[in-house]
Amino acid sequence: MRNPKRAEKIAFFFLFLATLLIVVPVGLIVVIIIQKGSPAINWQFLTDIPRQGMRAGGILPAIVGTVYLVLGAIIFALPIGVLSAVYLSEYAKDNFLTRIIKLAIINLAGVPSVVYGLFGLALFVVFFRFGASILSGSLTLGIMILPIIITTSREALESVPYSFREVSRSLGASKWQSISSIVLPNAISGILTGTILGLGRAAGETAPILFTVAAFYLPQLPSSIFHQAMALPYHLYVISTQVPNVDEKIRYGTALVLLALVLFMNLVAIIIRYKFRKKKKW
Amino acid sequence: MAISEGNLDKPKIQVDNLCLWYGSFQALKSINACFRDRIITAIIGPSGCGKSTLLRVFNRMNDLVEGVRTSGKVLIEDISISDNNIDLVSLRKKVGMVFQRPNPFPLSIYENIVFGPRIHGSMNKSELDEIVEESLKSVLLWDELKSKLDNPALSLSLEQKQRLCIARLIAVKSDILLMDEPCSALDPYATARIEELMRELKNRYTIIIVTHNMQQAARISDEAGFMLLGELIEFGATENIFTRPTNKLTEDYITGRYG
């Protein structure tokens, strides 16, 4: 390629094309789900229990179940994840123990989600005798999203300039005071980004909740964390493969609700993040 | 910290036979010096000579680096600061540091100044307001900024930022100010204004400035020390150091033969 201007144009074209190709599947998924699912969406669909063997009625128990599970997973994973990220990036010295911990986190991220399901079954359902319950499911999902939260929180903490810590210490602040009053507030938007990613994953996974919480069909809403619950991804799986003659629009409607729910939760986290960013006086 | 006029010549900081190692590298070699109260002492020398390291001994900031060892004695107002059990919080309150790059926190001007007092436990709003006013007045920023206290500190000019960093120390009632090349990020005009401020402040504070700008050292300091490869080669009145140095190495550096 002798002509640099032409080379530039060709490079630009391929780079742009590659980026554009990412947009296509995302756009198609959203368009198809909205197109096929929106006819199912009405007030009854969102607020009623499933009826006629899940071929009619609503999906309220599955919506509520997923909300509970995601909130449970975040309540469990966010504090543990952030605290361990603080330990790893601010306190831990580079020694054998630290390397073991880091290795464990990397491995945790690489475990297939169905293995989490089996692990949750063995540990929470059977060993701790929580049974198949919202508690077991939340803890299983929480462990699954821990590596996401730890990794993104560590990156966020490490991107806070060293000089902030230095000045803070030079003004007489202890290490923990420096972390809690300067480092963490400056890392919070990065930490929330990790939380958003974790949230989306917890809401969408089927395998980890399969053995630990998900109910095939429940006519009422769960009233305790020791109860089983329905969940949107599992419900979607059930009405798509286990129950014959379910109207297509109900399946796509369920998918649309799941998508909207994840988007809504992300939106909440994004608004919180925006508030924090505004408080930060760059 | 009321020190009577009578003992102004008494050393504020006394350094006896101080050595410091980073791992196996010896950065300071048997330093002996006295830093007097309410004057500006400059430490000059080429890059890597250990002058910043020496400065960081006085507020124990070297502790943040792993693998640092020291020997010898450093006394601040006759109290040894090298012991492991000294109170680092009160030491660092007393001995404040201004860094090379102005480094305000990404908070408002007000929040930057009250950061220290808050850490040290004062929470009372009117008390904090007073501290902010007093500190900003000390660095001659009050009139410019009194109506913009909620603006982000990072929107200030470099010079204002550096003044704000000094105000942050005044707010915790430091009485020794360590300045690590405080003007190297500033333009000549801003540098002159900060130097003016330093002259103003030396009536109330002990100031030690590290600089590799020799003109600056000559302009503002009362006493000066020349360091080379971890050793304090010469220490004395600035006038003597710059006009009739006793050591050949000092003379070579002053006259620009190296460095």
ipTM score of the complex? 0.86
Strand partners, B40: B207
Chain-chain contact of A171 with B92 (C-beta, under 8 angstroms) = yes
**Number of separate domains in chain B:** 1
CATH number of A41-278: 1.10.3720.10
Q: Hey, where are the domains in chain A? A: 41-278
Whether B155 is in a domain gets the answer: yes
Whether B2 is in a domain gets the answer: no
Q: What is the pLDDT of residue A281?
A: 56
Calculate the CA dihedral of residues B165, B171, B177, B178 and round it to 10 degrees. -40
Sequence-ordered alpha helix ranges (H) in B124-237: 125-138, 142-145, 158-171, 188-201, 214-220
Structure token pair of residue B77? 């107002």
Give the pLDDT confidence of A117-165 residue by residue, as tens digits: 999 999 999 999 999 999 999 999 999 999 999 999 999 999 999 999 9
Whether B1 is in a domain gets the answer: no
Structure token pair of residue B33? 């010096």
The CATH number of the domain where B58 resides is what?
3.40.50.300
- Mean pLDDT score of chain B, rounded to an integer? 88
Give the pLDDT confidence of A254-282 residue by residue, as tens digits: 999 999 998 888 888 888 888 877 766 55
Calculate the CA dihedral of residues A145, A148, A150, A151 and round it to 10 degrees. 170
| Residues A252, A33 contacting (CB under 8 angstroms) | yes
| Residues A205, A141 contacting (CB under 8 angstroms) | yes
Structure token pair of residue A165? 């810590």
The span from the CA of B82 to the CA of B73, in Å, is 7
What is the torsional sign of CA A150, A155, A160, A162?
A: positive
Whether B3 is in a domain gets the answer: no
**B101 close contact with A: CB closer than 8 A:** yes
Gyration radius of chain B over CA positions:
18
Q: Nearest residue of B to residue A186 by CA position?
A: B106
Angle between helices A184-204 and A248-279 (to 10 degrees): 180
Contacts of B156 in chain A (CB under 8 A): none
Assign A230 a pLDDT band (cuts: 50, 70, 90): very high
Chain-chain contact of B119 with A181 (C-beta, under 8 angstroms) = yes
- Mean pLDDT score of chain A, rounded to an integer? 91
Q: What is the pLDDT of residue A252?
A: 94
The span from the CA of A138 to the CA of B75, in Å, is 58
The DSSP element (H or E) to which B115 belongs, if any, is: helix B109-119
Chain-chain contact of B108 with A173 (C-beta, under 8 angstroms) = no
Q: What is the pLDDT of residue A64?
A: 94
Full-model pTM: 0.82
CA of A176 vs chain B CAs: smallest distance (Å): 11
The span from the CA of B258 to the CA of A19, in Å, is 55
**A169 close contact with B: CB closer than 8 A:** yes
Calculate the CA dihedral of residues B143, B149, B155, B160 and round it to 10 degrees. 40
Q: What is the pLDDT of residue B255?
A: 83
| CB-nearest partner of B116 from A172, A174, A280 | A172
φ and ψ at residue B26, rounded to 5 degrees: -90, 115
Whether B49 is in a domain gets the answer: yes
Give the pLDDT confidence of A13-71 residue by residue, as tens digits: 999 999 999 999 999 999 999 999 999 899 999 998 888 888 888 899 999 999 999 99
Ranges of residues in chain B with a pLDDT under 70 are 1-9, 258-259
Calculate the CA dihedral of residues A66, A71, A76, A79 and round it to 10 degrees. 150
Q: Nearest residue of A to residue B149 by CA position?
A: A281
What is the torsional sign of CA A169, A173, A176, A179?
A: negative
Whether B6 is in a domain gets the answer: no
Whether B259 is in a domain gets the answer: no
Range of the domain at B147: 11-254
